[in-house]
Amino acid sequence: MTPLNIPEWQSLDRHYSDIKFLSMREQFALDSSRFEHFSVYSGDLLLDYSKNRITQETMEKLFALADAVELKDWTKRMFNGELINHTEGRAVLHTALRNRSNEPVMVDGQDVMPQVNAVLEKMADFCATVHEGRWLGFTGKRMTDIVNIGIGGSDLGPAMICDALEPYAIDGLSVHFVSNVDGTDLSTTLEQLNPETTLFVVASKTFTTQETLTNAQSARNWFLKSGQQTDVAKHFVAVSTNAEEVSKFGINTDNMFEIWDWVGGRYSLWSAIGLPIALYVGFDNFSRLLDGGHQMDKHFRDQPLAQNIPAIMGLLGIWYINFFNAQTHAIVPYDHSLARFPSHMQQLDMESNGKFINRQGARISYKTGPVIWGTPGTNGQHAYFQLIHQGTQLIPVDFVLPVNSHYPDCDHQSILLANGLAQAEALMKGKTAEEVRAELVAGGLEGKALEALLPHKVFPGNRPSNVLLFPKLTPEMLGQLVALYEHKVFVQGVIWNINSFDQWGVELGKQLAKAILPDLRDDNDISTHDSSTTELIRLIRQLRQ
């Protein structure tokens, strides 16, 4: 039940005591093939994990732990549509959404692939009508702007992919994402738009999410200032599991793209939730994204652990979180178009593995999901890298490095890559007191001034990082990358014996917001809250203009 009692975990614990001070610098000096020993490919995607505090023995022990928790068996169970999301009684089948082999995937005795393919076909047809100018607005004009209204998984993934695939965008079509219930988000988006040429995609798996429905309602009110009720069908489509609510909202269910309860919100960009992606970059490029996801699925399902990128990255995470006590993990893409990648990964990882109860319902006595964060390099270097280099916490970093840019270059890309590689090297090597001393002496410093400055310029080094390197950020490569992190999260969830696919923790805040809302709206007596919340409600009522 608890990994702490597994002999392989205990063996790792002892091993940690033996090698916790192992110097990566020394290991590199001792073994000129360290890179070869600790790097692995999936197609064109390289994982270099040589700059980690590991030996061959560490990896063997981590693989033994994965075997002991039956990772391969759990993987099969996921791919085969077993109800592994047991608290919701659901299968977990984002892999079926990108199952390009089309092999049957059974849920409750039924193959889901015909439904998956039918929705993909409907998406392809719809994209064609929009792109070819056959889908016309209420004044007969073609669409110029797509506005996706959704939040969480119904926003972050598609928004990230659209940013990342901007070089593939279809001419004449812009995409916008509105997620925040803060009216600023919708208002500032609508300001730029013409209702005659705007198509809203209301994306909500449940179609009950307060933020999304509020934004969709306001968008419809904005539209109705120009169009008629009967024109709504030309300007609003929906993506959901919930035909009844879609229809109640006033969207014709012919214009609804179906998803299923076995698609988790944060794993849904591969489904019809990806409609804004397909509209923005074209259905062929959306298909290429699915191809990449499928490639990573095959890699994860079929490769032995020692060649398996998601397994290796997941296990390294366990090594740092549970043995080195790391609390956070940074993901730093050296690609400006991946600016939203860390946010998507944040939801993917933290909503999946932010759990304190194991699969059997008992409280957990070991650490689970880390805080995931990051921003693109090189900007991060001038903001928070100081703490990663010289702070008191150990923060593993993933550097995501595309070799080639989509944009005319003039040497920018070499400078960008040099910076990414330099950060990884500096984190590993650090700078010793002797090196600092030599540098200061060479700079003409001596005596007390030298001694006073010296400790501040020492870098401890020995700080771990992974490098993910690939030729170019194509749709296939992006598909591989996202699927890789999805499987990494799965690996860690299996080892921690948690259900990575529910998210009960977000419910309490939603319930309380519903209870507070009437108290903010009315001047009646405030219902029961703690004294802090009550006084804050009073103050807001007073200050409200």
Please give the positions annotated as active site: 351, 382, 510
Least distance (Å) from ligand F6P to the CB of residue 204?
A: 3
**Rounded CA separation 467/397 (Å):** 9
Q: How far is the CB of 207 from ligand F6P (least distance, A)?
A: 7
List binders of ligand F6P among 78-137 (CB under 6 A). none
Find the part of the chain contacting ligand F6P (CB under 6 A) among 24-32, 131-139, 149-157, 392-400.
Answer: 149-157
67, two tokens: 């075997």
Reduced to 3 states, what is the DSSP secondary structure of residue 147? strand
User: 8: closest CA among 315, 301, 307, 363?
Assistant: 315
Can residue 378 be called a binding residue for ligand F6P (CB under 6 A)? no
In whole angstroms, what is the distance from residue 150 CA to residue 266 CA?
A: 12
Residue type, 357: I
Identify residues 287-346 at the interface with ligand F6P (CB under 6 A): none
Closest approach of ligand F6P to the CB of residue 258, in Å: 13
Q: Which is nearer to ligand F6P, 442 or 508 (CB)?
A: 508
Say if residues 176 and 147 touch (Cβ distance below 8 Å): yes
Identify which range of 9-17, 151-159, 490-498, 527-535 contacts ligand F6P by CB under 6 A: 151-159
Continuous segment of H or E residues that includes residue 371: strand 371-373
From the CB of 523, what's the least distance to ligand F6P, in Å? 31
DSSP state of 431: B
- Look-up: residue for tokens 């001047």? 523
Of residues 60 and 261, the one with the C-beta less far from ligand F6P: 261
Residues 388-417 that bind ligand F6P (CB under 6 A): none
Buried b (16+ CB within 10 A) or exposed e, 412-429: ebeebbebbeebbebbbb
Q: Alpha-carbon distance 488 to 338, whole Å?
A: 19
* Options 152-160, 245-253, 416-424, 458-466: segment touching ligand F6P (CB under 6 A): 152-160
Contact call for residues 470 and 46 (beta carbons, < 8 A)? yes
Per-residue mark of binding to ligand F6P, 483-522 (x: CB under 6 A): --------------------x--x----------------
Give the residue from 135, 147, 162 showing the smallest Cα distance to 277.
162
Whichever of 345 and 395 has its CB closer to ligand F6P, that residue is 345
Quote the CA–CA distance of 329 and 320 in Å, as a whole number: 9
Nearer to ligand F6P, 151 or 219 (CB): 151
Smallest gap from residue 240 Cβ to ligand F6P (A): 8
Shorter beta-carbon distance to ligand F6P: residue 267 or 283? 267
Among 154, 343, 375, 378, binds ligand F6P (CB under 6 A): 154
- Is 266 one of the binding residues for ligand F6P (CB under 6 A)? yes
Collapsed DSSP state (helix, strand, coil) of residue 176: strand
Near ligand F6P in 421-440, by CB under 6 A:
none
Q: How many helices (H) and strands (E) does the chain have?
A: 23, 13
Residue 157 three-state SS: helix
User: Contact with ligand F6P (CB under 6 A): which of 3, 81, 137, 153?
Assistant: 153
CB of 241 to ligand F6P, least distance (A): 8
CB of 300 to ligand F6P, least distance (A): 22
In the complex with ligand F6P, the residue whose CB is nearer, 204 or 500, is 204
- Nearest Cα neighbor of 338 from 477, 201, 466 is 477
The footprint of ligand F6P on residues 346-375 (CB under 6 A) is: 351
> Facing residues of 262 across strands?
none
- Residue number with CB closer to ligand F6P (95 or 209): 209
Q: Which of 81, 158, 195, 265 binds ligand F6P (CB under 6 A)?
A: 265
Name residue 335's amino acid.
Answer: D
Give the binding range for ligand F6P (CB under 6 A) out of 199-207, 362-370, 383-391, 402-410.
Answer: 199-207
Q: Which position's Cβ is nearest ligand F6P?
A: 265
For 408, phi then psi, to 5°, come to -55, 145
Which C-beta is closer to ligand F6P: that of 209 or that of 381? 209
Find residue 39's DSSP bridge partners. Answer: 48
- We find the least distance from the C-beta atom of residue 155 to ligand F6P, in angstroms, to be 8
Cα distance between residue 511 and residue 148, in whole Å: 25
Q: Measured between alpha carbons, how far is 93 from 84 in angstroms, rounded to an integer?
A: 10
Whole-number minimum distance, CB 352 to ligand F6P, in Å? 9
Smallest separation (angstroms) from ligand F6P to the CB of 511: 13
**Of residues 85 and 204, the one with the C-beta less far from ligand F6P:** 204
Q: How far is residue 545's CA from residue 541's CA, in Å, rounded to a whole number?
A: 9
- Interacting span for ligand F6P (CB under 6 A) from 204-212, 301-309, 327-335, 475-483: 204-212
Residue in this structure with the two tokens 């090594």, named with its chain if needed: 319
Task: Return the structure tokens found at 202.
Answer: 């209301």
Q: Tell me if 204 contacts ligand F6P by CB under 6 A.
A: yes
Peptide bond between residue 378 and the one before it cis (omega within 30 degrees of 0): yes
Q: Which of 239, 294, 251 is nearest to 122 (CA)?
A: 239
Kindly tell me which of 272 and 484 has the beta carbon lying closer to ligand F6P: 272
Under rule CB under 6 A, how many of the chain's residues touch ligand F6P? Answer: 15
Q: Which of 69, 130, 151, 482 binds ligand F6P (CB under 6 A)?
A: 151
Best CA proximity match to 97, nearest among 483, 489, 494:
483
CB-count exposure of residue 366 (10 Å: 0-12, 13-18, 19+): middle
Binding residues (CB under 6 A) for ligand F6P: these are 150-154, 204-206, 209, 212, 265-266, 351, 503, 506
